[in-house]
Amino acid sequence: MSLVVQKFGGSSVADADSVKRVAKRIVEYRQAGHDVVVVVSAMGDSTDDLIDLAKEISPVPPARELDMLLTAGERISMAVLAMAIANLGYHAQSFTGSQAGVITDESFGKARIIDVTPGRIRSALDDGNVAIVAGFQGVSQTTKNITTLGRGGSDTTAVALAAALNADVCEIYSDVDGVFTADPRIVPSAHKISLISYEEMLEMAASGAKILMLRCVEYARRYGVPVHVRSSFSQHQGTWVTDAPIPEAFRTAQTEETEEKMEQAIISGVAHDRSEAKLTIVGVPDIPGKAAEIFRTVGHQEIDIDMIVQNISTRDPGRTDISFTLPKDDGVKAIEALESAKGSIGFDHIQYDDQIGKLSVIGAGMRSHPGVTATLFDALADAHINIDMISTSEIRISVVTNAELLDDAVRAAHTAYGLDADDTEAIVYGGTGR
């Protein structure tokens, strides 16, 4: 008998009818003889509604209470889903994150899972139940306060439980058919990726693909959990994220074809990101220790920086310009911190540009195929798109462009790598909520 962990996102359980539809799907797995653990998100956009409510009451709600409030969304969906399954004549029991043994650190709003002790889930399964777990939440190891894992965190709950229970697969259900070669809203000819390695999925998630939370992919890779990303609105095979063959119990007629296709692909997909800004520190003294000082200053503010470029100023010998990208939301914080260290760093001034976009081309085949980079730059040149910054990893090339040109850049790259599908495949079934 295999054990399946299934996670349903907000749009899959948006209202009573959707909850009943999902319950049917879960019951089908029981009928096929699988043990099932379900992780649910809050219904529809209810997490956003709860945040709005909190802000109406307090401009800066205490973090502990905000987390307590937000976990209520998932408690609603887990209980109603258990009711819907009971209506179909099957046993189901719901559990909060804390009851399910999801133990975290104490960082409210972005807690990290430290351990999962799913004893109660095991016994619920042994007693013949479908176990339903509230996603996105846990309990602090030290203080026993209730925590949340950050927006979209239910994916991570699902993968963490799958790892702790040694599940055969973790299925992540949303309102799209899987991971696409590009965002179908920008590239209508994007097609579904049938199989992708953890490493490539990590790069996709880190480069702005929103289908899976980065932490969830990191977790899946660390514990080797096969993840199947698919739609709860169709029966189509979705995207398998795994380095191992697709598990025996879940192989279909297309599985082998899928695995073969993956071997051949050089580029898996094109991701984009509009959430970053570019900060340039002009006229930094070109002596050892200055970069360290700059990035220590920014690091102290807990700001994640992404691309870094340093250019020696030809006009002003002995000076250099350092640019880096960072989340737009952290722009003000970074500027303030750097300005207050201006005297000791000794730079001239700061330039800030939040009208940028980042395009990334990802594919493990890059390692063994020279010329992949030139293809991208040719395509961007033909589309008259100027490149502002470049960075690469072994399996990724990223460029920063003007925000207005980003969509064109994504389309140009997608076509240049031969990723366009012959017919339109991408369908988004539900709402916006995940």
Interface residues toward Mg ion, by CB under 5 A: 10, 41
Residue given tokens 């790069």 in the structure block: 203
Residue 419 site contact among ligand ASP, Mg ion, none (CB < 5 to 8 Å, cut-off depends on kind): none
Per CB under 6 A, the segment of 149-157, 159-167, 276-284, 301-309 that binds ligand ASP is 149-157
Nearer to ligand ASP, 135 or 363 (CB): 135
10 lies in the binding site for ligand ASP (CB under 6 A): yes
Nearer to ligand ASP, 11 or 323 (CB): 11
Among 118, 135, 269, 331, binds ligand ASP (CB under 6 A): 135
136 lies in the binding site for ligand ASP (CB under 6 A): yes
231 lies in the binding site for ligand ASP (CB under 6 A): no
CB 140 within 8 A of CB 105: yes
CB 240 within 8 A of CB 261: no
- Three-state secondary structure call for residue 399: strand
Q: In whole angstroms, what is the distance from residue 416 CA to residue 418 CA?
A: 5
Q: 302 in the Ramachandran plot: left (φ > 0), alpha (ψ -120 to 50) or beta? A: left
Q: In whole angstroms, what is the distance from residue 254 CA to residue 102 CA?
A: 36
Nearer to ligand ASP, 9 or 331 (CB): 9
Mention every residue, 6+ apart, whose C-beta is less than 8 A from residue 186: 272, 407, 410, 411
184 lies in the binding site for ligand ASP (CB under 6 A): no
Among 138, 152, 184, 226, binds ligand ASP (CB under 6 A): 152
Per CB under 6 A, the segment of 145-153, 199-207, 276-284, 375-383 that binds ligand ASP is 145-153
- 170 token code pair: 């973790």
138 lies in the binding site for ligand ASP (CB under 6 A): no
Q: In whole angstroms, what is the distance from residue 19 CA to residue 81 CA?
A: 6
The per-type count for the chain, helices as H runs and strands as E runs, is 13, 20
CB 219 within 8 A of CB 156: yes
Min CB(28)–Mg ion separation in Å: 24
What are the φ and ψ backbone dihedral angles of 285, each rounded to 5 degrees? -55, 130
Tell whether 147 is in a known binding site: no
The H or E element spanning position 391 is strand 389-393
Tell whether 8 is in a known binding site: yes
118 lies in the binding site for ligand ASP (CB under 6 A): no
Nearer to ligand ASP, 14 or 416 (CB): 14
- Per-residue string for binding with ligand ASP, 41-60, x by CB under 6 A? xx----x-------------
Residue 73 site contact among Mg ion, ligand ASP, none (CB < 5 to 8 Å, cut-off depends on kind): ligand ASP
434 lies in the binding site for ligand ASP (CB under 6 A): yes
Q: In whole angstroms, what is the distance from residue 187 CA to residue 270 CA?
A: 10
CB 354 within 8 A of CB 404: no
Tell whether 290 is in a known binding site: no
CB 73 within 8 A of CB 42: yes
Per CB under 6 A, the segment of 58-66, 147-155, 251-259, 342-350 that binds ligand ASP is 147-155
- Using CB under 6 A, list all residues that contact ligand ASP: 9-10, 41-42, 47, 73, 135-136, 151-154, 434
